[in-house]
Amino acid sequence: MILKFTFSLFLIILFACSTTMNETDRVSEEVIKKCGEHMKKKGLKIIGTGGGEKNGKINLVEVSFVINQKLDIQSARVLIVDSANCLLNEINKNSKHEEIFAKFPAPVDIMHISIFGLESSENTPDYVGIVSILQGSIRYKVDNNIPPGCALRTIHKETFEEAQQILSQSSGNS
């Protein structure tokens, strides 16, 4: 009797704890993994992922990276635009993704990306602790000299399109 009960309990736990990955999870994971491999060449390491779906379609892809260097506005801009473009390219290059993403071709507003740089005790005017993009808006934030429990301070913000234009102009002047 005890053996039968133990075996039944084992089966319940086994099947309750096993998860099967649905197609949206598989595609999201695949896209993030490919982009993570590309961004690793630039010194970024994935530290967190997530996302959301509505009516069985992906409407949010979230990725957090860390980099082992201090960032300024320009270097943060390059990394955030490159990582956003990488995700967009991975999503939009496959026409089969039209069935999986809520909007296709996927726009930048379906992603939330954060990049965490090294902390700095220096008060340089263009130091950036964290850069993030959410709903097409890029925010450059500092995390130094902020009292515990207080929100990060945004020192600069711009749209994704503005950041792309700035990078395009600066590469044209090189």
The pLDDT averaged over each successive group of 10 residues in the chain (174 residues) is 48 50 87 95 96 92 96 96 97 94 95 92 81 97 73 90 95 66
Task: Confirm whether 5 is domain-assigned.
Answer: no
Q: What is the pLDDT of residue 65?
A: 98
Q: Which residue, chain included where needed, has tokens 């943060």?
A: 76
Give the chain's domain count. Answer: 1
Task: Confirm whether 9 is domain-assigned.
Answer: no
Residue-level length of the chain: 174
Task: Confirm whether 6 is domain-assigned.
Answer: no
Task: Confirm whether 11 is domain-assigned.
Answer: no
Rounded Cα–Cα distance for residues 54 and 62 (Å): 15
Task: Confirm whether 1 is domain-assigned.
Answer: no
- Which helix (DSSP H) or strand (DSSP E) does residue 121 occupy? none
Q: Quick one: tokens of 60?
A: 């949010």
Burial label for 83, CB within 10 Å (0-12, 13-18, 19+), is: buried
Task: Confirm whether 129 is domain-assigned.
Answer: yes
Task: Confirm whether 46 is domain-assigned.
Answer: yes
How much of the chain is helix, strand and coil, in % rounded to 5? 45, 30, 30
Q: Which domain range does residue 103 map to?
A: 21-172
Could you tell me where the DSSP H helices lie in the chain? 2-17, 23-40, 73-92, 160-172
